[in-house]
Amino acid sequence: MGGAFLAAAVLARLGSRIELPTIPLFILAGILLGPHTPGIVLVKDPHELEMLSALGLVLLLFYLGLEFHLDDLKAGGRKMALAGGAYLALNVGAGLGFGFALGWGTSEALVLAGVLGISSSAIVTKVLVDMGRIGNPETKPILGIIVVEDIFLALYLAALQPILSGADSASAAVMDGGKAFGFLLLLALAARFGTKVVGRLMNTKDDELLVISFLGAAVLVAGVSEWFGVADAIGAFMVGLMLGGTTSGPRIRKLVHPLRDAFGAIFFFAFGLSINPGDLPTVLWPVLVAAAVTLVMNVAAGLTAARIFGFGAQPAANISTTLLARGEFALILATMAAGAGLDSRLAPFIAGYVLVLAVLGPLAAGRSHWLARILPGGGKGGDGGGPGGSEPLYAKDSGGREAPVTS
């Protein structure tokens, strides 16, 4: 464990000197020191870090929930649903078409629809934090799209599982989907009406007790969510949503930072451990084509979301690039596909595709202004904002992070 933390830290320090984002470097550390690469092997079995990796994902999404205010969801819920629906329609539809074009089989095409269609909540969260974009106006639709994706994810997994297992009973799929949707509804009602009660239960002046309390709540609800067929990450997100609106919210946001950063690094390191570089050359061309398709669909989805919210070129570019990365959900599908005995090319394809976009996504997000220049309205020399120039200009602050410029 110590070696994993230090290896990730050393590579991240080296990368920061040439302005590389930390996510691909943490993944690279896992690849180089994992069981599939010659040389020093820190972790022989990636499953040894499975629980800590899951905790990293839970804390990343818990923090995202803390930053996503319930008032934002109520105020822009319809627009967020439209933007999320458009994103899924473009990306899942393209993934399904790509799967059928490969000719690997119907079940394989359904798996690829999910792989290409759902962005990585963990990487999106890390990009928003690292780039200093939590306060940007386009961050709200980005978070809204993630919420819609996670709801779709729960229902998609429930529907896909009986297909991959060969079950011929539609009632089982309907029951699993209903159970997942019911639990999501329960979490939403708790977030809407239970904030005051939860706030009183969490309220304490002792930082130690507060850390233990919010960490226990996030992990417990994440575990229960998984039991109901809902992604553990969305359960943690909902807990963050509830606690963010309490009087303890600002203190929790401050206290969770070191936990989020440490275990988030382990999540990406463990992700790298699962990748076998030797398998990648056999699926190189399908991976590159899939990455290109995803990039095009993300730009289309970003422009659509920007139009829905009245944003200009720069926010559209930020939406497109921030949501580009694929990650944990694709790996879950790869595991399901392997267990179902599907085409053997699926696993290396998914690993290669996720690796390419996990590296490309953060890099593209940091250079989104390049994309903004070629988008409609981006080459006019203005701010690229909404009607009447109401959107803020974007510039680099003293830490190299992109932030709105206020008058």
pLDDT, one tens digit for every residue, the chain (407 residues): 888 888 888 888 887 777 666 777 888 888 888 888 888 888 888 788 888 888 988 898 788 788 766 666 666 678 888 999 999 999 999 999 999 999 988 889 999 999 999 998 878 888 888 888 888 888 888 988 887 887 787 678 767 766 776 655 566 667 766 777 788 788 878 877 888 888 888 888 899 999 999 999 999 999 998 888 777 777 888 898 889 888 898 899 999 989 988 888 888 888 788 778 887 888 889 999 999 999 999 999 999 999 999 999 999 999 999 999 887 778 778 777 777 788 878 878 988 898 889 888 888 998 899 999 998 877 654 444 443 333 444 444 444 444 444 43
pLDDT at res. 165: 63
pLDDT at res. 1: 80
Distance (Å, whole) CA 399 – CA 369: 17
Strand partners, 395: 403
Distance (Å, whole) CA 377 – CA 279: 42
Token pair in block for residue 292: 């290109």
Determine the distance from the C-alpha atom of residue 115 to the mean position of all C-alpha atoms in its chain, rounded to a whole number: 12
Token pair in block for residue 332: 């879950």
CA–CA distances in Å: residue 380 to residues 377, 387, 403: 6, 14, 21
Q: Amino acid identity of 164?
A: L
Give the Cβ contact number of residue 15 at 10 Å.
Answer: 17
What radius of gyration, in Å, describes the C-alpha atoms of the chain?
A: 21
Mean pLDDT estimate for the chain: 81
Q: Which of 330, 373, 299, 306 is nearest to 114 (CA)?
A: 330
Distance (Å, whole) CA 243 – CA 69: 10
Torsion angle defined by CA atoms of residues 149, 288, 8 and 39, in that order, rounded to the nearest 10 degrees: 140
